[in-house]
């Protein structure tokens, strides 16, 4: 086990060294990601300066809702950069190299490369928004709420990780999955910063049952905020995030295992 941690250390050192080859670029990159992702927030901020609230949600509650989305993505991308870029790994033959090393495949994919720019950009934004909003949305921060929050974040990380894992596994069957990822993940994510109750029923259905972003931020935020628009959803949804995360991740992992077997029997 200590051997595994040692290797993780060496991987991290290697990544950091590569990173420090381009210091200035790295700082600017994180800033650019931060600002790009903040676009939606600046817009909602200006909008709520005028309108005060969106379907009962005031600006701080909105920021709290957004913060969960960015925080979970920021944590997720530390571990799943390799899966985000897995299509390239398969196409350029690096995946064969992973197969030739006496280590777990998922372990290698996860630790070989982490996109710290995205992690700092997204995660930094998530933390900033949390710090701005957490004290102003009327949450009593007791131990129970803190534990719930940690579980919710972990669940949100697992949900998005599961989606990346499935999309990565699909690369083994399809040559190009970027468009699919764009359709399923990035486009749906654009809705996820807002209370889903304002959208058409069909979009709500997708956000709950197909690409369950609602469990990443909307329902966890509702547990802590209890806004009136929660009335239209079953109470149980407030508690499901960790279960949805674990369930989705397990299924995704089984599909991944199956796909690796397929890769070894079919080549690519």
Partner 1 sequence: MSLIEVKDISKTFKVSKRRGGVPGMLANLFVPKFERKEAVKNISLSIEKGEMVGFIGPNGAGKSTTIKMLSGILYPDSGEIIVDGFIPYKQRKNYVGRIGVVFGQKSQLQWDLPVIDSFELLKAIYRVPDAVYQKNLSRFTEMLDMGSFIRQPVRQLSLGQRMRADIVAALIHSPEIVFFDEPTIGIDVVGKETIRSFIRELNEQDKVTMLFTTHDMQDIEKTCKRLVIIDGGTKVYDGTLGGIREQYGTSRQLDVEFAGRAEIAPIDKVEMETIDENKKRFIFENRDIQINELMNQILSRYQVRDINISEPDIESIIRKIYNREVDGI
Partner 2 sequence: MRIAPYFAYARKCFLGRSAYRFDHLMSILSTCMQFFIFWGIYRALYGANSEIDGITFSMVTTNFILSMGLGAVFCPDDYFLPNKIWDGSIATELLRPISFKGRMIAENLGNAAFDLLFRFLPVLVIALLTVGVSAPASPVMLLLFLFSAFLGYGVLWTISFAVQMTSFWLINIWSLLTIKNVFVNVLSGSMIPLWFMPEWMNGILNFTPFSSIYFTPVQIYLGQLSYGEIAFKCGVQVLWIAGIYLIGNFLWKKGQQKLVVQGG
Helix, strand, or coil here: 113?
coil
What are the helix (H) ranges across the chain?
2-20, 23-51, 59-84, 86-91, 94-99, 105-112, 116-133, 143-170, 178-181, 187-192, 201-205, 218-225, 241-266
| Residue 243 contact among partner 1, partner 2, none, beta carbon within 5 to 8 Å by kind | none
Helix, strand, or coil here: 193?
coil
Q: How far is the CB of 76 from partner 1 (least distance, A)?
A: 24
Assess contact for 71 and 123: CB atoms under 8 A: yes
| Residue 104 contact among partner 1, partner 2, none, beta carbon within 5 to 8 Å by kind | partner 1
Pick 55 or 268: Cβ nearer partner 2: 55
Contacts (CB under 8 A) with partner 1, residues 64-93? 92-93
267 binding partner 1? (CB under 8 A)? yes
Q: Compute how many residues bind partner 1; rule: CB under 8 A.
A: 24
142 binding partner 1? (CB under 8 A)? no
Assess contact for 130 and 136: CB atoms under 8 A: no
| Residue 23 contact among partner 1, partner 2, none, beta carbon within 5 to 8 Å by kind | none
Q: Tokens for 10?
A: 């060496």
Pick 38 or 154: Cβ nearer partner 2: 38
Q: Tokens for 170?
A: 């699909």
Residue of 2, 3, 23, 231 that binds partner 1 (CB under 8 A): 3
Binding interface with partner 2 (CB under 8 A): 25, 28-29, 31-33, 35-36, 38-40, 42-43, 46-47, 49-51, 54-55, 179, 182-183, 187, 190-191, 194, 198-200, 203
Assess contact for 239 and 223: CB atoms under 8 A: yes
102 binding partner 1? (CB under 8 A)? yes
């Amino acid at each position: 086990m200590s051997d595994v941690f040692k290797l993780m250390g060496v991987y991290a050192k290697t990544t950091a060294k590569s990173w420090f080859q381009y210091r200035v670029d790295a700082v600017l990159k994180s800033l650019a990601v931060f600002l790009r992702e903040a676009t939606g927030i600046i817009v909602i901020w200006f909008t709520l300066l005028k309108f005060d609230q969106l379907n009962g949600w005031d600006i701080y509650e909105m920021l709290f809702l957004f913060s969960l989305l960015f925080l979970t993505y920021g944590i997720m991308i530390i571990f799943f950069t390799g899966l985000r870029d897995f299509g390239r790994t398969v196409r350029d033959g690096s995946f064969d190299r992973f197969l030739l090393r006496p280590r777990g495949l998922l372990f290698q994919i996860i630790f070989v490369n982490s996109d710290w720019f995205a992690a700092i950009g997204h995660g930094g934004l998530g933390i900033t928004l949390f710090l701005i909003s957490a004290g102003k949305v009327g949450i009593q921060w007791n131990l129970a709420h803190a534990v719930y929050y940690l579980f919710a974040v972990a669940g949100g990380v697992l949900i998005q990780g599961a989606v990346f894992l499935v999309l990565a596994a699909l690369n083994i069957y399809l040559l190009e999955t970027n468009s699919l990822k764009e359709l399923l993940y990035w486009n749906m994510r654009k809705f996820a910063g807002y209370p889903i109750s304002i959208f058409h029923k069909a979009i709500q259905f997708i956000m709950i049952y197909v690409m369950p972003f609602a469990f990443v931020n909307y329902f966890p935020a509702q547990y802590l905020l209890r806004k009136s628009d929660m009335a239209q959803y079953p109470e149980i949804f407030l508690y499901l995030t960790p279960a949805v995360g674990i369930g989705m991740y397990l299924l995704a992992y089984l599909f991944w295992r199956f796909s690796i077997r397929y890769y070894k029997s079919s080549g690519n």
